[in-house]
Amino acid sequence: MPVNIVVPELGESVVEATVGQWRKAVGDHVSVGEVVVELETEKVDLEVGAAQGGTLAGITRKEGETVKIGDILGTIDESTTGSPVEAGERRQFQRETAISPAQPPPVPLADSAAAPRATPSARRLALEQDVDLRQVRPAVEGGPITAADIAENAPVRTGPATAAPVPAAPAGPQPTPSATTRTEERVRMSRRRQTIAVRLVEALHNAAMVTTFNDIDMYAVMELRRRHMDSFKQKYGVSLGIASFFVKAAIAALRAFPRLNAEIQGDEMVLKHYYDIGVAVGARDGLVVPVLRDADRLSFGALEQAIKTYARKAEDGTLTLEDLRGGTFTISNGGVFGSLLSTPILNPPQVGILGLHRIEDRPISVAGEVRIRPMMYAALSYDHRIVDGLEAVRFLKHLKELVESPGKLLLEG
């Protein structure tokens, strides 16, 4: 009898998903627990496995459709118990009998059952670029192939590698070419990209958002990192970056100005006396903000380890809903991509976000003398409904002083 494939629980506050890629076609054999279809949610991608072995008998919801928890995605016929080899032979026979002799045989997809393990984003990129996953080596031995692995390898095409004949140039003068051909491409936005778009617009419409700026002399931090880089990496297994300094400084500033670590609920302010700091990282489908929980209790080493882990998981597409849940304040570092200055948009229901930018040498006045120092512009966006301008300016100034004198972080921490 047929068994339904249904949309599972999607996590806290997530009620909808978009059908991503079907990993199996109708008629394919599936084993218990084998991934059948991918779902895209506003936070993470999910893989739906088969609860019963058998044959995929039907697909109810196609790729790109919006579904809710409990919706039927397809059906598995558990009465069909043929082996995967038999099922493959049956599908090959059906393909051969459906194609005329004049037509070439179909080219197998890059993520067929014989392909190695890969993340959802890697499989999508492989299909888009026509790359054979079997010829891509993952960066982590034994780990899944990621989108970065595909980007770092020369594309290996899965289609026939026949070169197109080059026509001989006709004799005589050539006509002047017409205007350049203008093409367009229509690409479906992922569920995460759609959610990001909606929430950013909501933040602009619903919050009285204002941004204040300051510049920070990074000389002391850069020197401290230079002196302790090797011993830090030897002890913790990660490099000492600048993110941990700003997380520590932000927490100290939040303690001094608690309304930036709050949210608005109706006509009340909810002041939070814990510090779950979101750190924005780039992923292929858009920006994601994993959360450093109880960040005030973490050492510099623990912070750097957590940030590196989140960055890797974002690239691999393995972030979980728990990784992204909640958060009381956000730090976004556009400087790693070369941004000099920007106005970060709030991450609701949070009322504050700190934007970091690239470090560059600039002349400044130090004790009456002109010095060349590594400087960074920092931006604090805040909700003016709950945070006053003076409070925001003093918050950013306090953070600046802590970063410029990192020894104070030990006292404030």
What is the residue whose two structure tokens read 């088969």?
A: 50
Domain end (from 130, 152, 174): 152
**Span 112-117, mean pLDDT?**
56
Q: What is the reported pLDDT for 95?
A: 44
Which of these ranges, 87-96, 184-193, 337-346, 375-384, has the smallest mean pLDDT? 87-96
From the CA atom positions of the chain, what is the Rg in Å?
27
Among residues 230, 294, 361, 388, the one annotated as catalytic is 388
Identify whether residues 408 and 263 lie together within a single domain: yes
Identify whether residues 144 and 73 lie together within a single domain: yes
Q: What percent of the chain has pLDDT over 70?
A: 79
Q: What is the reported pLDDT for 165?
A: 54
As a residue count, the chain comes to 413
Which range scores top for mean pLDDT: 186-200, 319-333, 361-375?
A: 361-375
Statement: residue 283 has pLDDT above 80: no
CATH code, 93? 2.40.50.100
Identify whether residues 290 and 357 lie together within a single domain: yes
Q: Which residues of 132-149 are buried (b: 16+ CB within 10 A; e: fewer)?
A: bbeebebeeeeebbbbbb
Statement: residue 113 has pLDDT above 50: no
Q: What percent of the chain has pLDDT over 90?
A: 48
Residue 180 covered by a domain: no
What is the residue whose two structure tokens read 């778009």?
A: 197
Enclosing H/E stretch for 209:
strand 209-217
CATH code, 246? 3.30.559.10
Residue 203 covered by a domain: no
Statement: residue 370 has pLDDT above 60: yes
- Residue 202 pLDDT level (bands cut at 50, 70, 90): confident
Amino acid found at 79: S
Residue 175 covered by a domain: no
Domain end (from 152, 182, 200): 152
Residue 272, classified by CB atoms within 10 Å of its CB into exposed (0-12), middle (13-18) or buried (19+), is middle
Identify whether residues 146 and 260 lie together within a single domain: no
Amino acid found at 149: D
Average pLDDT along the chain: 83
Domain end (from 131, 152, 173): 152
Interatomic CA distance for residues 171 and 354, integer angstroms: 65
pLDDT digits (tens, 9 = 90+) for 319-355: 888 898 889 999 999 998 899 999 999 999 999 999 9
**Span 150-154, mean pLDDT?**
64
Residue 296 covered by a domain: yes
Identify whether residues 136 and 233 lie together within a single domain: no
- Residue 94 pLDDT level (bands cut at 50, 70, 90): very low
CA of 3: how far to CAs of 10, 38, 54, 57, 353, in Å? 20, 18, 9, 9, 47
Identify whether residues 224 and 143 lie together within a single domain: no
Structure-model confidence comparison of residues 205 and 411, the more confident one = 205
pLDDT digits (tens, 9 = 90+) for 207-236: 999 999 999 999 999 999 999 999 999 999
Active site residue 29: no
Tokens at 195, concatenated: 């959610």
Identify whether residues 6 and 137 lie together within a single domain: yes
Statement: residue 111 has pLDDT above 90: no
CB atoms inside a 10 Å sphere around CB 238: 18
Residue 60 covered by a domain: yes
Interatomic CA distance for residues 277 and 200, integer angstroms: 19
Residue 61 covered by a domain: yes
Residue 13 covered by a domain: yes
Residue 77, classified by CB atoms within 10 Å of its CB into exposed (0-12), middle (13-18) or buried (19+), is middle
Range of the domain at 301: 208-412
User: From the DSSP assignment, how many helices (H) and strands (E) are in the chain?
Assistant: 10, 18
Q: What is the reported pLDDT for 253?
A: 97
Q: What is the reported pLDDT for 179?
A: 61
Among residues 228, 230, 273, 384, the one annotated as catalytic is 384
Statement: residue 98 has pLDDT above 80: no
Identify whether residues 388 and 321 lie together within a single domain: yes
Count of domains for the chain = 2
Identify whether residues 252 and 381 lie together within a single domain: yes
CA of 411: how far to CAs of 185, 221, 222, in Å? 56, 16, 20
Active site residue 384: yes
What is the residue whose two structure tokens read 């070169």?
A: 163
List of residues 6+ apart from 157 with CB closer than 8 A = 130, 131, 132
What is the residue whose two structure tokens read 């982590």?
A: 140
Identify whether residues 251 and 130 lie together within a single domain: no
Residue 185 covered by a domain: no
Identify whether residues 11 and 110 lie together within a single domain: yes
